[in-house]
Amino acid sequence: MANRLKSQDKPRGMRKILIPLHVKLIFPSVFVLGLVILYPLVSSLVLSLFNYELTRPDEMKLSVLKNYGMMIDDDVFWLSLKNTLVFTGVSVGVSLIVGLIGAITLDQLPKRLAGLRGVILVPWLIPGVIVGFLFMLIFDVQVGVANVILERAGIIKTFLPWLMDDQLAEIAVIIANIWNQVPFYILMFTAGLKAIPAETKEAAIVEGAGRWQEFVHVTLPHLRGILIITSLLMVIRNFNNFPLIYTMTGGGPVYSTTTFVIYIYRLAFEQFNIGYASAVGVVWCLVLLGLSSLYIKVLTKQDSL
């Protein structure tokens, strides 16, 4: 009793602070993530306020918003923004449609051919660098399979310089990216199709609905959540797509396939303009932050339904 009274008489500042066990367990991970993620972000934000070039480190000086003002008159910045939007929009849109068709086709296959699903997922497992080298050979102007197939099909008369033409290079990069990410959509949509109650499909058929009507009024509404979430997730992924584009074209010819991530890399490690590269990186992070917030909002809304 006396010991209890003594402990109660201790000042609040003398009391031992009890830290929950789960906080102690996650603290090392949070600390490491803070060093790996938070420090580069803060460092980039600080460097974006300076006129800092690696070729002239002694002339580093505070410029506040000068780097951000340079973006307004930077044609390459706006071109990289356009390239990022086109690359992301076309890749996600086409991959979604092809993935949905592929998932529905696989769902109709007999059980003895179920192993094909595993084979179709292989492109998703291949690293972006390897995919880039693979399609760099496919679209090679001399020995590329793409030119051979198109010529024998009578679509072209002479071999096309896919990776040396600004418009063709963008098409080639998008095709490679679609091939790489379609299996992800197939996997997600296949899982969604398996979750649709068989009674719902049977009721639609009994009511006289055709295949198209069943797809529009039964299948598509059940896949709506997966469609939105996977699309937002792939938009974020494609905004960050560096290995495939850099391996195939390096952002060229000129700047025709230069996206935000490629432009930041070229500014920092080819032109050595660290200050301006950091400013572009901050804008890029803000765009990704907005997309991530939208993704989390949609995901939370789906969980509450």
Structure-model confidence comparison of residues 215 and 299, the more confident one: 215
The confidence band for 293, taking pLDDT boundaries of 50, 70 and 90, is: confident
What is the spatial distance between Cα 284 and Cα 289, in angstroms, rounded to a whole number? 9
The confidence band for 1, taking pLDDT boundaries of 50, 70 and 90, is: very low
CA atoms lying within 13 Å on the CB side of residue 221: 8
Please report, for the chain, the start and end positions of each structural domain, with discontinuous segments joined by +.
62-130+173-304
The confidence band for 76, taking pLDDT boundaries of 50, 70 and 90, is: very high
What is the enclosing helix (H) or strand (E) of 61?
strand 61-62
32: its two tokens: 């490491």
- What is the per-residue pLDDT across 195-225, written as a single tens digit (0 to 9) for each? 888 777 777 777 777 777 877 778 888 888 8
- Asked if residue 123 has pLDDT above 60, the reply is yes
- What is the per-residue pLDDT across 78-115, written as a single tens digit (0 to 9) for each? 999 999 999 999 999 999 999 999 888 888 877 776 67
The confidence band for 5, taking pLDDT boundaries of 50, 70 and 90, is: very low
16 by Cβ neighbours in 10 Å (0-12 / 13-18 / 19+) ranks as exposed
Cα separations in angstroms, 120 against 104, 108, 117, 125, 182? 14, 15, 5, 10, 9
Report the pLDDT value the prediction gives residue 249, as an integer from 0 to 100: 92
CATH code: domain 62-130+173-304 is 1.10.3720.10
- Asked if residue 172 has pLDDT above 90, the reply is yes
What is the spatial distance between Cα 286 and Cα 290, in angstroms, rounded to a whole number? 6
Mean pLDDT of 260-273: 92
The confidence band for 2, taking pLDDT boundaries of 50, 70 and 90, is: very low
Report the pLDDT value the prediction gives residue 63, as an integer from 0 to 100: 83
The confidence band for 303, taking pLDDT boundaries of 50, 70 and 90, is: low
The confidence band for 15, taking pLDDT boundaries of 50, 70 and 90, is: low
- What is the per-residue pLDDT across 181-203, written as a single tens digit (0 to 9) for each? 999 999 899 888 888 887 777 77
- The per-residue pLDDT of the chain, averaged, comes to 84
What is the spatial distance between Cα 145 and Cα 162, in angstroms, rounded to a whole number? 12
Report the pLDDT value the prediction gives residue 31, as an integer from 0 to 100: 85
The confidence band for 25, taking pLDDT boundaries of 50, 70 and 90, is: confident
Cβ neighbours for 187, distance < 8 A, ≥ 6 positions apart: 121, 124
The confidence band for 305, taking pLDDT boundaries of 50, 70 and 90, is: low
Angle at 118 between CA 241 and CA 179, to 5 degrees: 30
Report the pLDDT value the prediction gives residue 20, as an integer from 0 to 100: 78
The confidence band for 289, taking pLDDT boundaries of 50, 70 and 90, is: confident
Structure-model confidence comparison of residues 53 and 5, the more confident one: 53
- What is the per-residue pLDDT across 250-261, written as a single tens digit (0 to 9) for each? 998 889 999 999
What is the spatial distance between Cα 77 and Cα 81, in angstroms, rounded to a whole number? 6
- Asked if residue 290 has pLDDT above 80, the reply is yes
